[in-house]
Structure 1
Amino acid sequence: MYFSFETIQTFVVGFIVVYVIHWIKKPRLSENEPPMVPYKIPIIGHTIDFVFNADTFFSKCRKHYGDTFNLYVFSQVITIAGSEASQEIFKASDSFSLNEAVKDILPLHHVLPRVNGFDGTQHMAKMIREEITGNLSLYTGRMQEQLVISINKEIGDCSDPKVITSGQKFFSKIIARPMANIIVGEEISKHEDVVNTFANIAKGLGIFLVLPPFLSFIHPKIHQQVVTLPIRFGWNPIRKDINTLKNYLRPVLEKRLKDKEILGDKYKPPLDIIEFYLNEPGYGAKVITDEYLSYICEVLAQLIFGSVHTTARHIAGALYDFAGRPELWDDIYEEQAKIDKECNGVLAIEHVDRMVKLDSFMRESIRTFGDVAGIIHRCMEDSYTFKNNTTIPKDRIVYIYLNDSYYNKVYGPEPRSFQPYYGLNNKIPATKIDKNYYAFGAGKHACPGRFLAINEIKICMHKLILNYHIKTESGKINEKRYVGPFVLPPSTGIVFEDRKK
């Protein structure tokens, strides 16, 4: 076979270019790091397995390389922390930062510049604990009322079976209504475009979560720069929604300030989040200016995204789990019918607490529908040494290997099987965090909104199960979808049919 000089020259140049790129992009490890899992393709490393085969791949790596190991993904080294190392990370809150890690994949500091993305989450957690969790019994009736309105509007009459196919997007619309009622109050949340705004904010900010960082093969920062380029030139995925909130908030906030001034101690503050912020040092105002409205709407956008996006995902997963398991239908329905009779159709917090079978089912759904790995952290110290004597350097991104906690021997010989009454039998509610259940994080940064989320999901499931026969369109358990190590609800159909009263 004959090769021309030009062909040989091109081959040599190409080889040199590939070699140089490989040398530049070759992972640099510091001393005593967790083991690097071998890979075959330079530059690409483990990216293909990470994106398309995370569950099986991580399981093999855990078996062969131990509790912590390194992968080379999108041209950067990441550390995967198993159940033992994960406990250390959650406890070492000064050594690791969730917020700094999230900025790489969810650059909200560009979208919400006044609050710098999620930098205000510590105060937000305080607000959720005091204002929402502390008043959960007062919010229960309002959540129920708003969820019933949503269900009637989005599902409605199903005397003829109706197929719903939009999964998480669909449930974002259902969850948006009660969250709007809690966050911006009863008066503002009556407007349909405000409810739509809550669903749109969850969707608009969620766009960043599904964009694979392919440009990170060149440099990790390039992906973030390119993704946020339209934002820095004026485009904002939620600008219209922010403006809608501002238009409705201004007259309400102005009236509240005026009423406070006139009524003094006789003023009765409404129970909602905007009233909390209006009185909170650093967040309140004596005059409602355009700048203040922009600022407070960015604060609310954080809260909306965290509450609507996550809750919709969990309720979608739970409904698919219920719809695909006919062996559970009668048992869980009977519990809901009994409670409905006891409360005469009007739930109070004590009735929600008595939904023990539904609560246990919810816990199992969240466990088995959870991400393979997630709750990413960035190492903030010059280096951090785990108890197993492996060390990672500053700025290293660490993924919590969630499946290593979800699927271990605590859950029996077949930990991947669906065990609907595990929580009930072991007296572990869906909100309780332990080393085998990191769905809501752990440590002092554990999600404070989990009590609201679980109650909201239980109320919604309670109403759906009472009113409809629910099954998957295929008649089988639908497979969950993966985006890398992250799980999405199926996109297949769920059939709703009215129960005969």
Structure 2
Amino acid sequence: MDLPWQLYVFAFLVSTQLFKLRRQYERRKALSEIPAVGPSGVLRSYKTVWRYIRDARSVLQEGYQKSNGGLFRVPQISGWFVITAGRHLEDLRTAPDSQLSLDAAGAELLQSDYTMGKDIRLDTYHLGVLRNVMTKKLPTMLLDMADEIRFSFNDLIDRKFTDSPNEWAHIRASEVFTIFVARITNRSFVGLPLCRNDDYCNINIYFAHHVMFGSAVINCFPNFLKPLVGAVYNKISGLRTRIVVHLRPLIEQRQREKAAGEQRSDDMLTWLMDAAPPGHQSVEAISERLLNVNFMALHTTAMTFTHALFHLAARPEYIGWLRDEIKENLGTEWIDSPNVLDKEKIEKCWKLDSFLKECGRLNGLGAFSLPRKSLVPFRFSDGSIIPAGTIVAAAPTATHLDNTLFENAAEFDGFRFYKQRREAEARYGAASAEEVKCRLTSPSAGYLAFGGGRHTCPGRFLASLEIKLMLAYLILQYDVRTEEEGVRPPDFWFGPVCTPSQSAAVLFRRRAKL
């Protein structure tokens, strides 16, 4: 008698799961020499997983302190992550991609083949555009950015006011400034009028949620089902299809202009089209590529700005000092005439740079940095070994609170890096390695906000410039404070992800015309 087909399917699923459990057991055994946070047993470790979901920061802080600058491991639903610190962090930063891979970590953690598109992982030509083209264009990009900043403040902030003198307007910071950054970023990516199109901006904003939620859903399924689940998820989401509707007319126009030898807009869309290799030049491929570049640029910039705004509003004593520095270096004419702006003058605002770096030190974007996946058994410099297939990362939240790296590390000092930079300049000279290390965009073994090593965030110079311009405009034009004076709204944590409060408002008051 023939067995029912359901029995074959059941047997296949059971054998697949048993194979997966065996591999997890072997990996767990290979990691047994590395200290664990909490119990390390198969079942008891899930207590720490639950604690980690609710309070990842304290779990990582416990591991960091107990390991005394060594390796430790943290349980996850799918296995164990190994966390590096101290001398092991330098091993992580310098390891070749053939041993510790960022791409492989992204493919597993974000399920990027399905949430972002497999072509994005297999050919990362857009990273070359960010590093080699966009960075050189920043001095001219800032003029459009400044114009869009002025428009967005007028459109999204000033309309909240009535004619009452000394009026304070409540602004939901996270929501409003995410729209801000979407507009400002895309002014340099696609230009007017598309950068102000609400649906276009919302697609780019929601794509981050699409990636994060989608990866969580897809990771719940066995590997052989992930392509199917990923396809269904993308069909339901529809964002990668909707973006094409907005970009097709623009891409086809640029293609016609190039064929006719006409001048095209000098923006991210054109740079991507020029850099796209054969097989990646269709309207759909370019649209998907730009959507992913927005994913890299938009939410990290918006959250970093909002973190800084919350600090500024809770510590108004910094506003006067920063305002004086901005006036001294930039003047006020650029508020109404952005064409007078000069990137070099912005770089002279060392106190503003320091304030933003300190905000990033204490309130970053999550519990992990420098995620890598071991493609082969990897030996650290002290002889410790992790097996192939292990996710390994750094813990910026714990590293940034290390008193051996930062004096009074738990305290906010907005001019911490300004003072260090002045001291380094006096001792070693301007533009010395020690002075450069104090800058916002410079990563180090002790400052992990932008990652590190060969995969340091390529968009950090754009993000830094955007945030400085937005904050400079805000400081010159408004007074700000928190709803509860002197109290910074608490961050929202879920597992390793940290965002500024999504519901908190900042109170804005217009200043007299400059």
Normalised-by-shorter TM-score class: 0.7 to 0.9
Question: Post-superposition shift, 1:487?
Answer: 1.6
What amino acid sits opposite 1:392 in the alignment? I
Structure 1 residues 389, 150: closer, same or farther in 2, change over 3 A?
same
Question: Given that residues 477 and 510 in structure 2 are in contact (C-alpha distance below 8 angstroms), is that contact kept between their aligned partners in structure 1?
Answer: yes
Structure 1 residues 244, 64: closer, same or farther in 2, change over 3 A?
closer
Alpha-carbon distance between aligned partners in 2 of 1:145 and 1:284, rounded to the nearest angstrom: 36
Q: How many residues in Structure 1 have an aligned counterpart in Structure 2?
A: 461
Question: Given that residues 107 and 228 in structure 1 are in contact (C-alpha distance below 8 angstroms), is that contact kept between their aligned partners in structure 2?
Answer: no
The more displaced of 241-250 and 390-399 is: 241-250
Match of 2:128 in 1: 126
Q: 2:73 aligns with which of 64, 70, 73?
A: 70
Question: Given that residues 320 and 494 in structure 1 are in contact (C-alpha distance below 8 angstroms), is that contact kept between their aligned partners in structure 2?
Answer: yes
1:182 aligns with 2:193: no
TM-score by length of 1: 0.83
1:172 aligns with 2:178: yes
Match of 1:462 in 2: 472
Structure 1 residues 458, 31: closer, same or farther in 2, change over 3 A?
closer
Q: 1:309 aligns with which of 281, 299, 303?
A: 299
Structure 1 residues 284, 498: closer, same or farther in 2, change over 3 A?
farther
Alpha-carbon distance between aligned partners in 2 of 1:253 and 1:77, rounded to the nearest angstrom: 44
Alpha-carbon distance between aligned partners in 1 of 2:279 and 2:320, rounded to the nearest angstrom: 50
CA offsets per residue over residues 119-147 of structure 1, 9 Å max, x none?
A: 433x2221012221011001000011112
Match of 1:15 in 2: none
Question: Post-superposition shift, 1:318?
Answer: 0.7
Question: Post-superposition shift, 1:352?
Answer: 1.7
Q: 1:338 aligns with which of 317, 328, 331?
A: 328
The 5 A counterparts of 1:281-360 are 281-282=276-277, 292-341=282-331, 343-345=333-335, 346=338, 347-360=341-354
Question: Post-superposition shift, 1:248?
Answer: 3.7
Question: Given that residues 396 and 448 in structure 2 are in contact (C-alpha distance below 8 angstroms), is that contact kept between their aligned partners in structure 1?
Answer: yes
Match of 1:396 in 2: 390
Question: Given that residues 197 and 244 in structure 1 are in contact (C-alpha distance below 8 angstroms), is that contact kept between their aligned partners in structure 2?
Answer: yes
What amino acid sits opposite 1:34 in the alignment? I
Question: Given that residues 30 and 393 in structure 1 are in contact (C-alpha distance below 8 angstroms), is that contact kept between their aligned partners in structure 2?
Answer: yes
Structure 1 residues 238, 221: closer, same or farther in 2, change over 3 A?
closer
Match of 1:89 in 2: 92
Alignment root-mean-square deviation, CA: 2.9
Aligned residue for 2:490, secondary structure, equals coil
Alpha-carbon distance between aligned partners in 2 of 1:222 and 1:136, rounded to the nearest angstrom: 43
Aligned residue for 2:107, secondary structure, equals helix
Alpha-carbon distance between aligned partners in 2 of 1:319 and 1:224, rounded to the nearest angstrom: 42
TM-score by length of 2: 0.81
Alpha-carbon distance between aligned partners in 1 of 2:86 and 2:221, rounded to the nearest angstrom: 32
Question: Post-superposition shift, 1:76?
Answer: 1.1
1:204 aligns with 2:210: yes
Structure 1 residues 333, 393: closer, same or farther in 2, change over 3 A?
same
Q: 1:416 aligns with which of 406, 410, 415?
A: 410
Which runs of 5 or more residues in structure 2 are unaligned? Answer: 1-19, 422-437
Question: Post-superposition shift, 1:412?
Answer: 4.2
Match of 1:500 in 2: 512
Structure 1 residues 255, 57: closer, same or farther in 2, change over 3 A?
closer
The more displaced of 331-340 and 412-421 is: 331-340
1:451 aligns with 2:457: no
Structure 1 residues 259, 37: closer, same or farther in 2, change over 3 A?
closer
The 5 A counterparts of 1:98-137 are 98-113=102-117, 115=119, 117-121=120-124, 123-137=125-139
Question: Given that residues 84 and 395 in structure 2 are in contact (C-alpha distance below 8 angstroms), is that contact kept between their aligned partners in structure 1?
Answer: yes
Structure 1 residues 45, 76: closer, same or farther in 2, change over 3 A?
farther
Which runs of 5 or more residues in structure 1 are unaligned? Answer: 1-20
Alpha-carbon distance between aligned partners in 2 of 1:190 and 1:222, rounded to the nearest angstrom: 38
Match of 2:257 in 1: 259
Alpha-carbon distance between aligned partners in 1 of 2:413 and 2:228, rounded to the nearest angstrom: 46
1:162 aligns with 2:169: yes
Question: Post-superposition shift, 1:243?
Answer: 4.2
The more displaced of 229-238 and 352-361 is: 229-238
The more displaced of 444-453 and 398-407 is: 398-407
What amino acid sits opposite 1:91 in the alignment? T
Aligned residue for 2:74, secondary structure, equals strand
Aligned residue for 1:495, secondary structure, equals strand
What amino acid sits opposite 1:269 in the alignment? R
Alpha-carbon distance between aligned partners in 1 of 2:176 and 2:222, rounded to the nearest angstrom: 30
The more displaced of 49-58 and 311-320 is: 49-58
Question: Post-superposition shift, 1:360?
Answer: 0.8
Q: Percent identity?
A: 22
Alpha-carbon distance between aligned partners in 1 of 2:388 and 2:235, rounded to the nearest angstrom: 32
The 5 A counterparts of 1:430-449 are 430-449=440-459
Aligned residue for 2:29, secondary structure, equals coil
What amino acid sits opposite 2:112 in the alignment? L
